[in-house]
Structure 1
Amino acid sequence: MIESVDLRRLQVLRLVHRHGTVTAAADVLHLTPSAVSHQLRQLARETGVALLEPDGRRVRLTAAGRALVTHADALHANWERARAELAAYADGSAESLHMCGFPSAVARLLAPAAARLRATDTRLTVHVAEEETAAGLDRLLAGETDIAVVVLDGSTLPLDDAKFGRRPVLAEPFDLIVPAGHPLAERDEAVLGDVADEPWVLAAAGSCDLYELAVAACSAAGFTPRVAHHARDYAAVSALVACGLGVALIPRTAAVPALHDVARLPLRDAPTRHVLACVRLGGDRRPAIARGLAALEEAGRELARLPERPDRR
């Protein structure tokens, strides 16, 4: 019979389930692998069942472990709702809100949202951190941030993942950028097939969402991009394109430095990335988090009102 379970150990189990290794979960929790293993052994003793079994060099949850994670997700969601309800009874003292997101989300969504919150609520202290999608979700699950702005990705954020609540913030098309002297430079628009034979500038596989999105879009257009150079930062990408070293995709809201002589074209078959604001399930009822989500949604609406025809540069 289970008499008591430490909720912190359930959190450890959730992270091992997410990452498949004790070492990866330890990295997220800022613990040693031996400390994580100890927590899991204690949890197995508390529950009286085996929770993990080996799976090659990784581990996987037993059927009992998976059942426990399902209940743990519900428990943590209820705890987030309880925190939100208790916050409504607070005495009005200062609050803090931690938000994170991938680099261009920091520039175009999180920074404006933080500024809006600072202007409208002087009691709220907002902290912003730059994190790619997977790391942002890890920070969210570990309790190190309250809102993570991420790109919808079925492998990083499965649609049936019960750990997170999510709000759509922005559906953002990508534009094609080519060197200023390129034959396409004077056209009003293009399709991906127009650059099927060109060298490409892309992020390295697995480094961010752009690689998978671009490869999938090119595949749908009937070709595989020939990657000549790897870059993730959009200023670096546009610099390589400006020097005639390839073509690239860039989000509609991403700025190109003025000194980079490139042409920017809308695509009739443009890939689109879907940007979400994620919270721990139930956390959106906490007043500070609710205000943060509202500010991000307003920032997203402002970006969506930008002209469909991007600047030529």
Structure 2
Amino acid sequence: MLRVVRQQGTVTAAAEALHLTPSAVSHHLRELARELKVPLLEPHGRRVRLTPAGRLLIEHADALLARWEEAQAELESYRAGMTGPLRIAGFTTAISGLIAPAAGWLRHSHPGLLVQVRECDTEQSMDLLVAGEVDLAVVEPIEGGPPPDDARFEQSPLLEEPYVMLVPGGHRLAGAVSVRLEDAAAEDWIVADADTCDHAQRVRMLCAAAGFSPRIVHAATHWSAVWSLVGNGLGVSLIPRLAEGPAGQAVARVPVAGENMPTRRILSCMRRGSRRNPLISLGIGALEEAVRHHQSLDDWPRSAA
């Protein structure tokens, strides 16, 4: 509970994440402080924060929990056969491009393994890992997210995903082997809505590095909407290679080349100490197989031109 309070900033938010009442969380934390004979929380504006004693306790708790995950992984290896559940969380394009194919392969190769998939953004995936509600997550680095050496998690690179230019089917760039961002400097641009992800900011930064400011005309909430807008000739977009759109749209995905080919880093993430759990190892292996499959496709960019 103390770890979740630190992460959420209020007892109320922590209680919601833990599916408990605020009074129950407050009671347990008061009892913990009384038992340890040190204050663990202190007011900080409208929120609460850990006292130095609370932070020290968390450091030890992280180490203990990592050892507990290792113990569970060791015990799991003695189980006969592979049974579930294996709970995997990830953001939208990670599910469509990596998690869903991986879950499908596991279903056929290990019929006794129950794979449960949950769509959520990276921040929520981390919260679910901390709360023990998922076992494995596919995430991307985010501002304010946990650093690589965070004691709670083990984060490993899974994929350097390239961005590709999405253009209407009859566009002058549609048949190109590759394009540079500056080739579309005079085009109308379409981006994902700023309230759903940082796509618009990323497009602006990448275009600025290429020497121009994009004329952003349309914003959409989902990749399928971006896809439809491009397919109807309303502009071009820069999309992650894993993003998919509705069938039947007249669009072309063109690899982006250049000295600084735009990419997005995708990570696997689990609670520290749990990697040796055979079910999680199976999940990681299936995700890596999905990565290899995508990288073998003809329209996957190989290198900067």
Q: State the TM-score bracket (shorter-chain normalisation).
A: 0.7 to 0.9
Instruction: Quote the residue 2:8 is aligned against.
Output: 19
Q: TM-score, normalised by structure 1?
A: 0.85
| 1:58 matched to 2:43 | no
1:53 to 1:216, Cα distance in 2 relative to 1, 3 A? farther
Q: Is the 8 A contact 2:159 2:267 kept in 1?
A: yes
Stretch deviating more after TM superposition (218-227 or 38-47):
218-227
Q: 1:260-279, aligned counterparts within 5 Å?
A: 260-268=249-257, 269-279=260-270
- Shift, 1:224, TM fit: 4.8
1:185 to 1:303, Cα distance in 2 relative to 1, 3 A? closer
1:58 to 1:199, Cα distance in 2 relative to 1, 3 A? farther
Q: 1:87 aligns with which of 67, 76, 83?
A: 76
Q: Is the 8 A contact 2:94 2:242 kept in 1?
A: no
- CA distance, structure 2, for counterparts of residue 36 and residue 198 of structure 1: 54
1:186 to 1:278, Cα distance in 2 relative to 1, 3 A? same
Stretch deviating more after TM superposition (149-158 or 125-134):
149-158
- CA distance, structure 2, for counterparts of residue 140 and residue 218 of structure 1: 35
Q: 2:288 aligns with which of 280, 297, 304?
A: 297
Residues 166-199 of structure 1 deviation map (CA, whole Å, 9 limit, x = unaligned): 2322211011112345444444332223334544
Instruction: Quote the residue 2:182 is aligned against.
Output: 193
The letter of the residue matching 2:116 is H
1:122 to 1:262, Cα distance in 2 relative to 1, 3 A? closer
Residues 234-288 of structure 1 deviation map (CA, whole Å, 9 limit, x = unaligned): 2111111223333212122333434222232221243211111111111111111
1:92 to 1:241, Cα distance in 2 relative to 1, 3 A? closer
- CA distance, structure 2, for counterparts of residue 46 and residue 215 of structure 1: 53
| 1:152 matched to 2:153 | no
| 1:286 matched to 2:277 | yes
- CA distance, structure 1, for counterparts of residue 30 and residue 129 of structure 2: 24
1:263 to 1:298, Cα distance in 2 relative to 1, 3 A? closer
Q: Is the 8 A contact 1:26 1:36 kept in 2?
A: yes
- Shift, 1:34, TM fit: 3.5
Q: 1:149-298, aligned counterparts within 5 Å?
A: 149-208=138-197, 210-268=199-257, 269-298=260-289
Q: Percent identical across equivalent pairs? A: 51
Q: 1:101-112, aligned counterparts within 5 Å?
A: 101-112=90-101
Stretch deviating more after TM superposition (208-217 or 108-117):
208-217
Residues 96-133 of structure 1 deviation map (CA, whole Å, 9 limit, x = unaligned): 21112111221221122112222222222211121221
Q: 1:45 aligns with which of 34, 47, 72?
A: 34
Stretch deviating more after TM superposition (41-50 or 104-113):
41-50
Task: Determine helix, strand or coil for the equivalent of 2:203.
Answer: helix
Q: TM-score, normalised by structure 2?
A: 0.87
Instruction: Quote the residue 2:106 is aligned against.
Output: 117
Instruction: Quote the residue 1:100 is aligned against.
Output: 89
Q: Is the 8 A contact 2:192 2:223 kept in 1?
A: no
Instruction: Quote the residue 1:7 is aligned against.
Output: none
- CA distance, structure 1, for counterparts of residue 213 and residue 54 of structure 2: 41
The letter of the residue matching 2:199 is L
Q: 1:29 aligns with which of 18, 22, 28?
A: 18
Q: Is the 8 A contact 1:213 1:271 kept in 2?
A: no
Task: Determine helix, strand or coil for the equivalent of 1:257.
Answer: coil
- CA distance, structure 1, for counterparts of residue 6 and residue 222 of structure 2: 31
